[in-house]
Structure 1
């Protein structure tokens, strides 16, 4: 008796191995093993209470030279687009009262500060807001890299948040569902193993024209995830010359609801996307997406379907064999 062979694709038709699929499966298996090993290492470190801090990255003092370049959003912007050569060389004029009250004010010149440049950049890039933006000076390249840094996220002091509102979102480029799935898998791992939250950043690579996700250096607990205070310098080293922009900050509330806390509200105030994934104990976790409207000074909620690709999961698995002829619509 001849055994029937089920043909599923052109490779099985000719008994050819799909090398790409094999490589992908091998890479996935290796990644799963690495993930499991990292969870085991974290458990061991937690049990030993081993919290030896890593060496801090090198911080070069901030400076602005005439030929300094600001590298952001895939562009190299001469600093002379924002300040004159005279201002760069001599400093910005600042009024200073003389000790003699009748003598009026005198002018002194101070070097351009990080915040002076940030305020100029914010006029072109609305997301580079105060308290959430750090400008990293890389001396060997004479470039300044603006880094939008995440702050603490968590469920501490949960309060009522702003009301839902509509927002116009471009549907030309959505974040792949695979990235969201990857985050949920990692978040579930930390929730199940440690009962903690976890944070990730989602970026868009301007050269490859694709999204990528990064789990930055952070400390997580059941109520908070705190990104390292040196993250701007860490990212400057990690990503090097890669041309990218930050699209979203996403964090989990493990088995708790997605309702943003007061900590979330205070630290999610740039006009980028923010997502919270909660109730990871449910069959389908909950997710909310929002942004911050600088003009209205409030958070605006967005339908996740407008942000993430939504694969036809149910349609793919449904059999469509059930009779619905007895159903009427009023």
Structure 2
């Protein structure tokens, strides 16, 4: 190794120590981002993109660990009980908020066991059907649901999944209950939808967009307040059903007792990652919007999480669908 390279290596190794001496927290070992779902799925892909950007900003490795099971609650419990030193984080979606009501007994407190560091992304949900479903628009879908009730089927991929929550929201708006059909993921549900064996589905645009563009399934609306580029679908508000509004949002969390300086530094690294051009380009491909810099903050995320817990409680209670 040349003297020049030795000098560069020594300088890079000294950076964390210098930062600590100046009062800025820096992780002294790799940061683990725990993802509650399987590798390759939408949450995992987003977590890896965010983690790569955070690693560049922190100057420290950020690795993703997939801890699956029980709708994300196993991973959440692991992080809630981890050493609060800023090196074990949770990357979770909307299911973190709904778990507060959906699960009768949790080994942690959704609002009390974590320090929210910032939101990371928003993905629109889409209301879709089998290709030959008779309804011409969302109003027609809701009318058919009210008329047919449990003679219609609606897919989801497990209690607490974003598509399960969206389906509950749709049924809540219609004031009726359909027959649920549970699949192991969105892909098999969409396959059955295309084949005409399932009537309705409410899933992320990330998953449905390719099939909507090819007219292999029928689309009615997106569940955000603004339209999704590349999809010729109205918003639920434009379609006359403003109550059917939600996104599959993701956020980053640390254990509750994580020191303030560590939380602030990790939150700043999240915002830095969300500004990177490579991340923005990849998010666009995934039909997902990065969280704004305001939403990717501790303060905003903390208030938002509490509001989401409160919002989903009566919807889940009305549906009476609980997990053990």
TM-score of the superposed pair, with normalisation by structure 1: 0.22
Looking at secondary structure, tell me which structure has more strand per residue.
1
Largest Rg, 1 or 2: 1
Q: Which of the pair has the greater relative contact order for Cα pairs under 8 Å at 6+ separation?
A: 2
